[in-house]
Structure 1
Amino acid sequence: MPTTGYLKRLTRRLTEDLGNVDAEQIAAESQATGAQRAAECCRGDEVSMHGELRSVETCSRAAKTGVKAEFFDGSDVVLLKWLGRNRIPGIEPGRKITVRGRLAEHEGMKVIYNPYYELQGTED
């Protein structure tokens, strides 16, 4: 009987969308750290979340708009914006990070401006 469970899990892993598998793994890591879920947070909340940077956009010196990163915790996406910076060492796609700050909303998207952050170890 244990073989049936194993085959079912294996089949699920092989046929499931990779994005869903990734989201489940990130959500489990986030929950294990005791962090808040982005999907459950509202504008004005002081939040502490754990997740992964999906994309990072740096500005040119002329634009002076700052660094933008798409943060995903397995439940929702939050845009992180560091104003007045053109680059932040360690802020790169795929990096695990814990962020703290006040949640805002801009053009229908959740945003944290100038969040405090803690880079998590790399899995090299």
Structure 2
Amino acid sequence: MSKTEGGYWKRFVRRLTSDVAELDADDLSDRSQAGGAQRASDCRCGQEAVVLGRVRSVELCPKTSAPTLEAELYDGTEGVTLVWLGRRRIAGIEPGRIVKARGRIAVRDGRKVLYNPYYELQNTA
């Protein structure tokens, strides 16, 4: 058996024995790296980062006089919260959408955050 055949069978068996969430996380992680983005788990506070993943949730937070729109982006390794200050809604930012975001990583309540990130909506295919 050649080296590539062993790799094929290993991947095949893994796909048969893994749960759907684990396979989805692997696919997201692969897509993120193929899209030229960093893995969210590798990003550090203060670092300029590009992340690519699926929006899990979107929430309007009217905590102060200025509203904030928050979206949780998951890339298969870890989540990053995208926060747009002063926004109530952004067309295309919705659960299930693939988004590539760029900005400086901050940490809020122990979670990674990008404030007012530059973003690109990606094709879901």
- Other-structure match for 1:38: 40
CA distance in 2, matches of 1:29, 1:22: 10
5+ residue gaps, structure 1: none
Structure 1 residue 59 displacement after superposition: 4.2
Per-residue CA shift, 1:71-92, capped at 9, x if unaligned?
0111111111111111111000
Which among 108, 111, 119 is matched to residue 109 of structure 1?
111
CA distance in 2, matches of 1:63, 1:121: 35
Quick one: which amino acid aligns to residue 106 of structure 2? Answer: A
Which among 73, 97, 101 is matched to residue 95 of structure 1?
97
The answer on 1:118 being equivalent to 2:120 is: yes
Q: SS of 1:58's equivalent? A: strand
Runs of 4+ in 1 over 4 A off after TM superposition: none
User: What TM-score do you get using the length of structure 2 for normalisation?
Assistant: 0.83
C-alpha RMSD of the superposition: 2.2
CA distance in 2, matches of 1:14, 1:94: 25
CA distance in 2, matches of 1:107, 1:85: 21
Structure 1 residue 65 displacement after superposition: 2.8
- Other-structure match for 2:18: 16
Q: Identity of paired residues, percent?
A: 50
Q: Does the 8 Å CA contact 1:51/1:98 hold for their aligned counterparts? A: yes
5+ residue gaps, structure 2: none
> How many residue pairs were aligned?
119
The answer on 1:69 being equivalent to 2:35 is: no
CA distance in 2, matches of 1:25, 1:122: 12
User: What TM-score do you get using the length of structure 1 for normalisation?
Assistant: 0.84
Per-residue CA shift, 1:85-122, capped at 9, x if unaligned?
11111000010010000000001000011110000124
Q: Does the 8 Å CA contact 1:81/1:114 hold for their aligned counterparts? A: yes
Q: SS of 1:28's equivalent? A: helix
Structure 1 residue 14 displacement after superposition: 4.3
